[in-house]
Each structure stands twice: as structure tokens, then as C-alpha cells.
Amino acid sequence: MVTIIIPNFNGLAFLQDCLDAICPQAEEEDRHVLVVDNGSTDGSVDFLRQYPGIETIFLPTNTGFCGAVNAGIRASHTRYVILLNNDTKARPGYVQALIDGMERDGKLFSISAQMLMMHSPENIDNAGDLYTALGYAKGRGIGKPAKDYDRAAEIFSSCGGAAIYRRAVFDEIGLFDETHFAYLEDVDMGYRARIYGWRNRYLPEAKVEHRGSGFSGSRYNSFKVSLASRNSVYLPWKNMPLLQLILNLPLLVLGFLVKTLFFAGKGLGREYVKGLWEGVKLCLKRENRDKKVPFQWRHLINYIKIQLQLWVNIFRIL
């Protein structure tokens, strides 16, 4: 029924809590835990070899979030896959709630769980992702009371840190784009699914606690800012047809300008601008042209729906 894929890179400090929480939910025969280690050097490999009841794929180098989860998806043969960050603790019933949600609606590509801040679990860490015509992606409800997000809702895309996906759809739209390495890859995946007519949903009954920034180390740092800004250019280029890009270009430029000023105020303006330029170069590379989603007239209504949501979401993030 489901493979629970946990990517890990030097996450030894988190693994015990993560696996102790999720493994009891995978004791039934139709559930399987698969850890994909990204060439860790902190003792994670020895720990994983000794932890009972899990399968592990050991990659020789760090392939990023995308490379790790893709390796797990390729190795899976179940109806669904759950992606779960290593710095999470799944609450009881998390897996079953996600499975039940998918079984109720055959049009869903993914369901995003209610992610709670581990050190203040009364507050939301993520309740699904929004994406806007400004080129911004933002998690719903960050820092707000969880009680305000106790209803299921349609979302633009699911946060890959704690979400379930319909395995067969990957065969239709492709796996996570490893060009991203990390950051915005889940928004890209949800965007692609929407182009093909699939939907994404948030389900508060599935709960996990999340430390946050377990991979990059902090909310704002040069690695994260540069990589995320690079991907923020690559993502719309990849998913929008030319006319839609032209339509959104003024808002995208405005969004990037505001973000430049924001990160300049945090001493990371150079890193942000450098990332934007790297994103432009990604779009110009010949080898990335095949990754651009080809426009098909049968998807026109889906593009229109997406564009309307891109505009509406501007006001939702304010």
C-alpha cells in the first residue's frame, strides 16, 4: 500500500526520534520504511545498519533531497509513497490518515500533512504550500495557531517534508527534478501535477512535529538563499508556456526586486542576486530544455486555473 521514504544526510541527531515515531506505524504488511542515505559522514550509516526493521539505500555522494527521494521512489512498488523529513516526529495515526485521504479521492496526486513546530507544537510549521505570480512560494500558516488550520483545504502543492503521493502519477509526469537539488522541488512537482489535471490537498488529521532547517542548519543562510533564489527563476521558466511567462514577467521582476531588498537587509543580498543569475543560466542551458513542461492544448483549462490561483495567492501571502 505505501512506502515511507526518509532521505537522510548527516542527520544522525534526528534519526532515532524520527524512526522510533514512524516505524510502529509501519508494522502492517502493506507498509514499508525505506531510508535513503545521501553519503553521510556523521555516523548515520552505522546507525542505520543497526536499526531493525527498515530497508536502507546508501548513496555514495550527496545527491540532494531530489536525488535521494527519486532513488526511493524508483525502488518502491506500492500504490502510494510518503516522503518524510528526517527531522520530524510523526504522531500516531499519521500514516493511516494520509492513506485514508488518498483512498477517498482518486483525483488527488498528493496530500500534505499538518506540520507543527517541534518546540512549540501549538503552532503551524507548514499546512501546504502556496505559489504566487510574484515567484514566491510560501508555506501556509507558518507560526500561526494550529487550531486555525484544523480543516482540510485545497493547496497549490504539498510540502515534501511530510506528504503522501500517488505513485502511478510519477510515471505520467516524471520524478522530482534533480536540477533543483533542494528547495522548491516540491512546488515544481505539485505545479506539474496541476498542469496534468491532478489536485493537491492539505489534511490536518495527519500530524507531524518538525524541527525545521535540519538540512541547511538555519532559516536564512548563504547556501539556502542562493539555491532557493536560483530555483525561483528556474521553476516558472520550466512550467509556464511562453505567453504565460510574458504575462507574469512584470510581477516576477517585482517579486525578485522586493526579495533582493529583503535579503540585502539581512546581509545576504549578494547571495540572493547570485542565485538569480545562476537560475537564468540554468534556463539557458541546452540540457535543461527537455525538462521544460511541453504545452499541450488539452491542458489549456488547467493553465487558466493555475494562473487564476497564482494571482489569488498574492493576496493570501500578504
Cell of 189: 512537482
Closest CA to 4 of 100, 69, 93: 69
Per residue of the chain (318 residues), give pLDDT as tens: 999 999 999 999 999 999 999 999 999 889 999 999 999 999 999 999 999 999 999 999 999 999 999 999 999 999 999 999 999 999 999 999 999 999 999 999 999 999 999 999 999 999 999 999 999 999 999 999 999 999 999 999 999 999 999 999 999 999 999 999 989 999 999 999 999 999 999 999 999 999 975 454 567 899 999 999 999 999 999 999 999 999 999 999 999 999 999 999 999 999 999 999 999 999 999 999 999 999 999 999 999 999 999 999 999 987
What is the reported pTM?
A: 0.95
Closest CA to 168 of 201, 200, 193, 186: 193
